[in-house]
Amino acid sequence: MSPITQAILTSWQIPLPAVVSLASLGMLYWRGWRRLSRQLPMHFPPWRLGCFMAGLTLLLLAIGSPLAALDNLLLADHMLQHLLLMFAAPGLIVLGAPINPLMRGLPAGVARDALGPFLKSPGLRRCGRALTHPATCWLVLLLVNWGWHLPFAYQAALRYPAWHGVEHGCFFAAGLLFWWPVVQPWPSKSRWPRWSVVPYLLLAGFQNSLLAAILTLSGRVIYPYYDSVPRLWGISALSDQVIAGAIMWVPASLFFLLPAVGAVYNLLSPRALAATHYRRPSPMERASPEPFDLLRVPVLGALLRTNYPRRAVQGLMLLLAVGVVADGWWGPAMAPMNLAGVLPWTYWRGLLMVGLLVAGNLFCFACPFTLPRELAARVRPRGWRWPRRLRTKWIALGLLVVFFFTYELLSLWNRPGATAGLIIAYFVSAFTVDLLFSGASFCKYLCPIGNFQFAQALASPLEVRVRAPQRCTTCATHDCLRGNPSHRGCELELYLPRKVGNLDCTFCLDCVRACPHDNIGILLHPPGQNLLNDPFRSSLGRLSMRPDIVALALVVTFGAFANAAAMVGPINRLELKLDRVFGIHSLLPASALLLALGMVVVPTLAYRLAGRRQSTVQRRRMALALIPLGLAMWTAHFCFHLGAGLASGWPVMQRVLANLALKLGPGWFGPPQWQGMAPAIGLHTLHAVDLVLLDLGLLTSLYLIWRLTEAQSAPARAVLTRMMPWAVLALALYLAGTWIVMAPMQMRGMLMGTSAGATLDLRSDGGRR
């Protein structure tokens, strides 16, 4: 294969947002189709599912395959891409009769509350009817097809990527509209007699052939842009145009002729009356479906009910912790070459945030620091109860602030020895505290990382809670809390029927195993929903009466921005300037001052300012609504490091394995390749992911603020005014976050090889290679 062909065939560009959107649409359709195919099997046979999925696949091919990579070089290639976008993909998607499956695929609440008002709006219904009228659909195709093929429009699309996107969007939308009257997906009704589809298609084919003829027979290059770009395989711009015209003329005509033949055949065939058969859904099917329960997932659910997966993960984490400590002390001082520099600060943090975002508090589930507690419980006869006065989050909050300061001031990411020391200190502290005190006192009242996780898990989508609360009313044993001879109860003293949200829940699943009624699951719920109400929570009380928890949430939220800001240029320059002002040749005072500002002073000022006209209870509940934004910023920050440094762990592992003489033979792992590892995920993709995360965080926080204000304010007009200070605060944080992620970050403690911005000189590379 020639290098050019090879280059072309490998020119796939997978646009992550598009892939995620199409995958989500596919999932939604599949979910809805599964339900509808049981109730209306004649309307939703499997081939509809196949058509819809094939349509999505063709759409992805059109925008991500080499067709898209070459569209600026070859008109013929561009034409093929447009045929996919305008005729093939939309036709297949409309054949999937997508409206009902997509609506049924949505959670019932979303379909009812978010889309219901639009669907019931008379004005919008009129618009929809006008838009799907066959005359409109046909005219839209005509206008879009001819309009975008005018030289100035077509060339603008070639020159400006944004216009190119608009052009493709127009083609796809026009295609969807064009095929609507042809397919007339159920339950829509035909506005014109069915025979009219035949002239509709033939006339559309005629206008398309006319345009194709102009391209083919004009004898001059209509789009000079293609004359200016490098020509491939010696094909001139004019020949390229002729080929493109021929593609548009012959294969594209099939898109009109074949459906027209099919329509005639259908008109002449006896109608299949059975297609209208409707099976009334059973009461079980009509009842709102139960929320997703992770413990009901086959195999995984059964596994999670046992303690083995947690023990296995904890064992693995313990092994890794031992490796990190050993390498941190005895390994190389360069953090990017050391397990203690890479595993905790590149992988572990990023994966934890992903876990929080898509599931819940997986850190505590996998925490190896709880293993000493198990040991302590065996050693001590009976521990003391944690002092009543100290049963708050203040100590954990103080330790968390100290941890943030230590991280910055001691450059923990860059000091493997210090990281190793921190891990040892953690193990010793956990063991000592749990040796002296009963229960999970360390986790609940002291552990800074655990409480960092607890606070953010309030916005996580999965929650350990009872499935049917009424079943708990007859329970007299309360095994979920007290335990029983076979299984222990919740060591964090959470009584499940009164547990709301993930605060203080370590996902240990002891309660699941202890419950004799099998009434506890890991249930899906809208992220942040538990913050909309302020019920009494087991072992916590009302959150609005807990200043310590509110302070923890504020520090975690603002800390996300302060921590990320500390890694970008202006802040570093400011530190250097302050360093000169202090004149003590140390960055410590400047860093400490900026951190104190970002994590203590600014949150306090912002909290007081935004809530100055509200009661203490209202203000505290509003502050908790900012948690999703903080979670988004932490995730954006840590996932940036994880995405960019995904490959950085392999050479470190190679070095460690080589040092341990675990090589199973020469060449199995090879020598560490410190160079040549480009960032695993590109800058643009990382930025896109970060910005979308921030968008989602802001929107969730704004929604919570809106709902909380709505519940607090009687007159509807007062809602906007009252929510404004908090909305402005959320917006300010969002803008700060956007700026931070767009400014180049330090890739601290990471060694990732060749940057796209540099060329390597490896003429003499010592003994490493």
Partner 1 sequence: MAGGARAALALALLLGLLRPSAGWTDGGALYFSRAQDGLRVSLFGPALPLTPGISDLTVMVQDARDLQPILDARVVLVLSEGARSQSLRVRLTHREAADKLLYAGGITLARPGRWTANLQVAAGARKLEGSFSLIVVPGASFTQVWPYFALVVLVIFLFGWNQWLSHRQRVGPSHSIA
383 sits in the region (left: phi over 0; alpha: psi -120 to 50; else beta) called beta
Report in angstroms how near the CB of residue 738 gets to partner 1 at its nearest.
6
Residue among 435, 437, 330 at smallest CA distance from 384: 437
Nearer to partner 1, 163 or 192 (CB): 163
The pair of structure tokens assigned to 306 is 């046992």
Shortest gap between Cβ of 691 and partner 1 (angstroms)? Answer: 4
Q: Residue 575 corresponds to which amino acid?
A: E
The CB-of-216 to partner 1 minimum distance in angstroms stands at 37
Distance of CA 106 to the CA centre of its chain: 18
Nearer of residues 213 and 609 to partner 1, judged by Cβ: 609
Judge contact between 372 and 314, C-beta under 8 A.
no
Taking the complex as a whole, how short is the minimal distance between the CB of residue 339 and partner 1, in angstroms? 16
Q: Which amino acid is at 628?
A: P
d(CA 156, CA 150): 10
Question: What Cα–Cα distance (Å) separates residue 51 from each residue in 46, 437, 565, 755?
Answer: 9, 62, 48, 43
Among 750, 757, 768, 759, residue whose Cα is nearest residue 336: 750
Contact 256, 201 (CB under 8 A): yes
Name which of 160 and 668 has its Cβ closer to partner 1.
Answer: 160
* Least separation in angstroms between CB 585 and partner 1: 7
Tell me whether residue 466 or residue 644 sits nearer to partner 1 (CB atom). Answer: 644
Task: Residue count of the chain, please give it.
Answer: 769
Separation in Å, CA 397 to CA 71, 403, 451, 545, 561: 56, 10, 8, 17, 17
* Residue 731 CB contacts under 8 Å (≥ 6 apart), including other chains: 698
Q: Bridge-partner residues for 384, per DSSP?
A: 437
- Between residues 59 and 750, which has the closer beta carbon with respect to partner 1? 750
CB of 52 to partner 1, least distance (A): 24
Location of structure tokens 């001139």: 236
Residue 80: CB minimum distance to partner 1, A: 27
User: Nearest approach, Cβ of 648 to partner 1 (angstroms)?
Assistant: 9
Q: For residues 83 and 168, give the distance between their C-alpha atoms in angstroms, rounded to a whole number.
A: 11
CA distance 203 to 201: 6
- Of the two residues 359 and 692, which places its CB atom closer to partner 1 in the complex? 692
On whether the CB atoms of residues 151 and 218 are closer than 8 A, the answer is no
- Check if the beta carbon of residue 157 is closer than 8 Å to that of residue 164: yes
Residue 505 or 644 having the CB closest to partner 1: 644
Which CB, 270 or 757, lies closer to partner 1?
757
Q: Which is nearer to partner 1, 235 or 593 (CB)?
A: 593
Three-class SS state of 541: strand
CA distance 234 to 254: 29
- The tokens 């159920």 sit on which residue? 186
- Report how far residue 604's alpha carbon sits from residue 397's, in angstroms, rounded to the nearest whole number: 14
Rounded to a whole number of angstroms, the minimum distance from the CB of residue 536 to partner 1 is 30
Query: Is the Cβ of residue 2 or residue 764 nearer to partner 1 in the bound state?
Result: 764
Shortest Cβ distance from residue 757 to partner 1 (Å)? Answer: 4
Comparing CB distances to partner 1, the nearer of 280 and 763 is 763
Q: Which is nearer to partner 1, 108 or 319 (CB)?
A: 108
Residues 256, 198: Cα–Cα separation, whole Å? 9
Shortest gap between Cβ of 409 and partner 1 (angstroms)? 11
CA 732 – CA 398 distance, rounded (Å): 26
| Cβ proximity to partner 1, 444 vs 707, nearer residue | 707
Taking alpha carbons only, the member of 427, 455, 433, 457 closest to residue 446 is 433
Least separation in angstroms between residue 157's CB and partner 1 is: 17
CB of 576 to partner 1, least distance (A): 8
Amino acid letter, 250: V
In this structure, the number of other CB atoms found within 10 A of the CB of residue 670 comes to: 11
With beta carbons less than 8 A apart as the criterion, state whether 158 and 136 touch.
Answer: no
